Amino acid sequence: MRITVKQQVLLAPTTVLLLLVLLLGFMHYTYWDLSSKRATSKAIGDTFVALAEADMAARRLQVIIRALQYTGMANAEDMALVSDLYDRLEAAVERIEPFGPLKGTDDIEQLKQLVDKFNPAISLEPEQIAQLYANFRAQLSSLSNTTQVYRNKLRHLQNKDINQLIEHTVLVSISVLVLAILLCLLVAVYFSRRILNRIQQLSDNAGRIAAGDLELPPAPKHINDELDALAVSINRMTNRLIKVVGTEKLLEGAEEERRRIAMDLHDQTLADLSSVLRGLQTLAAKAPDQGTEHSIITLEQDLDRAISNLRDIMNNLHPQTLDILGLAAALESHLDQDCCNDDLPEYHLYTDPRVEELNLSRLQQLTLYRIIIEAIHNVIKHAAATRYEVNLEVREKLLVISVEDNGKGFDPNTSSGGRGLNNIRERARAIGAEIVWRDSRFSSGTRFELALATN
């Protein structure tokens, strides 16, 4: 099951919150049960009071009715009193509520029927009134006894329940709180150790890679959370870094080999050819006739051209101007020597003075030189331009190099670009530079731009 790091962090407080919600539900249920018993106790108390009021009203009503029947005279005040006592009796009986043992019986209903017979509108004989009152008193006494017994029993149970409630509530609350704390600590310790160990492993891998140890770190087979995704990203980043470093090492080795070949050509081949040229010059001075002298001079010219071509080859292999004067001077020298012909596009070179202050390694300078030369040659060979500009600028901590022309332009996204563009991309990737081709600021053409972060 996939559990994200955020869910793992929130799992411990969620567990505590869930247990506290269960504890709250338990206490609510217990309080609801106690409230129900209190409501029953109140109903019993009201019933007990209603029965007492009904008993008193029935007694007085019986006495007055018997007195009226004995005298045979009834004035308005007596009749009003009889009617008032009957209303009280009826109201008291109506307030009797069924509870406990009274539920499911018809005792209360029988009592109401007896009350209906006390109605003053119904004339009864004294014997009937005595019998009715006796039956009413017996039914009322039975209900009163039942109510009193159940009331005492319920009072005892209620006090007992309150004590048990307090004990159970305290015990359950303490138990749940202790359990919640223990579970919270266990879950927090388990997931925090698990997360911290994995973060430490990722940190160690990143530190090792930053220190130059490019051994490929392990990657999880399945991504379950953000840390697994980060481990996969580090694995992929290291793999790409290994390729980039490999390319950089390859280019560095190739450039070093070209430098060595250029030095060997200079120290051996060029020295030998120069010695041969001096020998021919000496021989020309001693020529016995003009024909021989002319032949020797022709050989001198051919050898001089060969030496010049050899110097160009040496400069292409490794420009000495770059090592001696720096990137800007090497570019200016190349443009002056190779790009000033009348049949070539007009150019403009701008170099920010701060470029020379940058702490660029020899490989970076040489790679940038190769990229700029390749971009210039692409303009001359393919752009059909009449003008191009080469700019080297420093923007904050970025070295920005651009080659912009007014030629026919092209779309680098749809064009493969051949070996030249691929070489530019590989060389830029090897030194960590970013390159882009976009529309020129001229009315037509292409702008090539390279950005390299510097210290």
The residue among 228 and 318 whose pLDDT is bigger is: 228
DSSP per residue, 23-35: HHHHHHHHHHHHH
* Structure token pair of residue 230: 């980060």
Considering only CA atoms, give the Rg of the chain: 56
Look at the chain and report how many structural domains it folds into: 3
Mean pLDDT for the chain? 77
In-domain check, residue 231: no
Q: Which long-range contacts link 295-303 to residues 24+ away (Cβ below 8 Å)?
A: 303/273, 303/276, 303/277
- Spatial contact of 198 and 8, defined as CB atoms under 8 Å apart: no
Q: What is the pLDDT averaged over residues 118-145?
A: 71
What pLDDT is attached to residue 388? 93
DSSP strand pairing (387-395 vs 398-405) = antiparallel
The residue among 349 and 234 whose pLDDT is bigger is: 349
Q: What is the pLDDT averaged over residues 77-92?
A: 77
Q: What is the pLDDT averaged over residues 191-202?
A: 78
Domain boundary among 318, 338, 367: 318
Q: Are residues 307 and 409 in the same domain?
A: no
In-domain check, residue 228: no
- The enclosing domain of 414 has a CATH number of 3.30.565.10
Confidence bin at 41 (pLDDT 50/70/90): confident
The residue among 177 and 442 whose pLDDT is bigger is: 442
Confidence bin at 348 (pLDDT 50/70/90): very high
Whether residue 448 has pLDDT greater than 90: yes
Q: Distance (Å, rounded) from C-alpha 319 to C-alpha 370?
A: 10
DSSP per residue, 194-209: HHHHHHHHHHHHHHHH
What pLDDT is attached to residue 435? 92
Q: Are residues 93 and 141 in the same domain?
A: yes
| Phi, psi of 123, rounded to the nearest 5 degrees | -85, 125
Q: What is the pLDDT averaged over residues 354-365?
A: 86
Q: List, in sequence order, the alpha helices (H) in 225-326.
A: 226-264, 271-285, 290-317, 320-325
Strand partners, 393: 400
The residue among 111 and 394 whose pLDDT is bigger is: 394
Q: Distance (Å, rounded) from C-alpha 377 to C-alpha 331?
A: 13
Whether residue 355 has pLDDT greater than 80: yes
What pLDDT is attached to residue 165? 64
What pLDDT is attached to residue 4? 66
Q: Distance (Å, rounded) from C-alpha 375 to C-alpha 290?
A: 50
The residue among 359 and 28 whose pLDDT is bigger is: 359
Whether residue 400 has pLDDT greater than 90: yes
In-domain check, residue 195: no
In-domain check, residue 128: yes
The residue among 449 and 140 whose pLDDT is bigger is: 449
Q: Distance (Å, rounded) from C-alpha 25 to C-alpha 31?
A: 10
Q: Are residues 422 and 373 in the same domain?
A: yes
Q: Are residues 329 and 309 in the same domain?
A: no
Q: Are residues 88 and 72 in the same domain?
A: yes
- Distances 123 to 69, 115, 117, 127, 314 between C-alpha atoms, Å: 10, 14, 10, 12, 146
Q: Greatest CA separation found in the chain?
A: 192
Confidence bin at 402 (pLDDT 50/70/90): very high
DSSP class of residue 95?
A: T
Of 431, 438, 322, 307, give the one whose Cα is nearest residue 373.
322
* Structure token pair of residue 293: 């002298």
Whether residue 401 has pLDDT greater than 90: yes
Q: Distance (Å, rounded) from C-alpha 175 to C-alpha 168?
A: 10
Domain boundary among 187, 216, 238: 187
Q: Are residues 41 and 169 in the same domain?
A: yes
- Spatial contact of 142 and 135, defined as CB atoms under 8 Å apart: no
- The per-residue pLDDT for range 427-441, each reduced to its tens digit, is 888 888 999 999 988
C-alpha distance across the termini of the chain, in Å: 46
Least confident stretch, 85-94, 114-123, 157-166: 157-166
Q: Please write down the HEC assignment for all residues of 215-248.
A: CCCCCCCCCCCHHHHHHHHHHHHHHHHHHHHHHH
Confidence bin at 454 (pLDDT 50/70/90): confident
Least confident stretch, 59-73, 191-205, 337-351: 59-73
Q: Are residues 314 and 338 in the same domain?
A: no
Q: Are residues 23 and 159 in the same domain?
A: yes
- The per-residue pLDDT for range 197-244, each reduced to its tens digit, is 877 887 887 777 777 676 777 777 777 777 777 787 877 877 777 766
Residue 424: other Cβ atoms inside 10 A: 22
What pLDDT is attached to residue 372? 92
Domain boundary among 142, 157, 187: 187
What pLDDT is attached to residue 207? 79
Q: Distance (Å, rounded) from C-alpha 140 to C-alpha 146?
A: 10
In-domain check, residue 79: yes
Least confident stretch, 131-145, 238-252, 302-316, 323-337: 238-252
Q: What is the pLDDT averaged over residues 23-47?
A: 71
What pLDDT is attached to residue 279? 78
Q: Are residues 297 and 166 in the same domain?
A: no
* Structure token pair of residue 286: 């001693």
Highest mean pLDDT among 103-107, 183-187, 392-396: 392-396
Whether residue 390 has pLDDT greater than 80: yes
Q: Are residues 283 and 336 in the same domain?
A: no
Q: Which domain holds residue 300?
A: 251-318
Least confident stretch, 37-41, 69-73, 155-159, 243-247: 155-159
Whether residue 349 has pLDDT greater than 80: yes
Q: Are residues 312 and 355 in the same domain?
A: no
Q: Distance (Å, rounded) from C-alpha 85 to C-alpha 120?
A: 10
- Spatial contact of 40 and 103, defined as CB atoms under 8 Å apart: no
Highest mean pLDDT among 24-38, 41-55, 149-163: 41-55
In-domain check, residue 222: no
- The per-residue pLDDT for range 253-302, each reduced to its tens digit, is 666 676 677 666 666 776 777 777 777 777 777 767 777 777 777 887 88
What pLDDT is attached to residue 101? 66
- The per-residue pLDDT for range 133-163, each reduced to its tens digit, is 777 777 777 777 777 777 777 666 555 556 6
DSSP class of residue 149?
A: H
DSSP class of residue 292?
A: H
**Residues of the chain above pLDDT 90, percent:** 9
In-domain check, residue 81: yes
Q: Are residues 157 and 15 in the same domain?
A: yes
What pLDDT is attached to residue 393? 93
